[in-house]
């Protein structure tokens, strides 16, 4: 809610000198506006402090999270999947695409395992949210 405390000055009043009452009213209006700005700034500061605290809590939580290596189990389970689907149940094009994807996945498995080992070695050097050059 904005209160307009400005005194309307007519063109004929502009020629007169500003008297003490008018000056006092102008100063009161300026004081009220400055206090309003200070209140808004204080509110914004409180919000920023809360956001920084929450961000710090999230970072601390992420630092404390230790992920178990479940990828080996996942890969073993996924690799045991066989293409038992016959060509009669799906179209030959779709069958070929699925077969290609499965073969590509199997070929990338070793690369992913090596990458995970490298990540484990460098785990202490990683900082969440930090981006650097590769």
Q: CA–CA separation, 9 vs 21, rounded Å? A: 13
CB 22 within 8 A of CB 7: yes
User: Where residue 112 falls among pLDDT bands split at 50, 70, 90?
Assistant: confident
Residue 88 has pLDDT above 60, yes or no: no
Instruction: Quick: pLDDT tens for 61-87.
Output: 888 777 666 565 555 555 555 555 554
Range list of H helices, the chain: 20-64, 71-79, 92-121
Instruction: Quick: pLDDT tens for 13-54.
Output: 554 567 878 888 999 999 999 999 999 999 999 999 999 999
What's the pTM?
Answer: 0.34
pLDDT at 95: 83
Domain ranges of the chain: 17-65, 66-124
Q: CA–CA separation, 72 vs 110, rounded Å? A: 11
Q: Which residue has the higher pLDDT, 18 or 117?
A: 117
pLDDT at 61: 85
């Amino acid at each position: 809610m904005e209160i307009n405390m400005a005194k309307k000055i007519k063109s004929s009043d502009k020629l007169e000198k500003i008297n003490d009452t008018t000056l006092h009213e102008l100063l009161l209006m300026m004081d009220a506006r400055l206090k309003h700005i200070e209140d808004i700034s204080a509110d914004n500061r409180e919000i920023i402090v809360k956001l920084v605290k929450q961000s710090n809590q999230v970072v601390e939580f992420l630092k404390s999270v230790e992920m178990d290596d479940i990828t080996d189990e996942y890969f073993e389970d996924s690799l045991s999947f066989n293409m038992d689907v016959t060509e009669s149940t799906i179209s030959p094009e779709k069958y070929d695409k699925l077969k290609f994807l499965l073969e590509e996945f199997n070929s990338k498995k070793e690369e992913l395992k090596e990458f995970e080992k490298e990540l484990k070695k460098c785990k202490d050097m990683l900082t969440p949210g930090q981006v650097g050059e590769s």
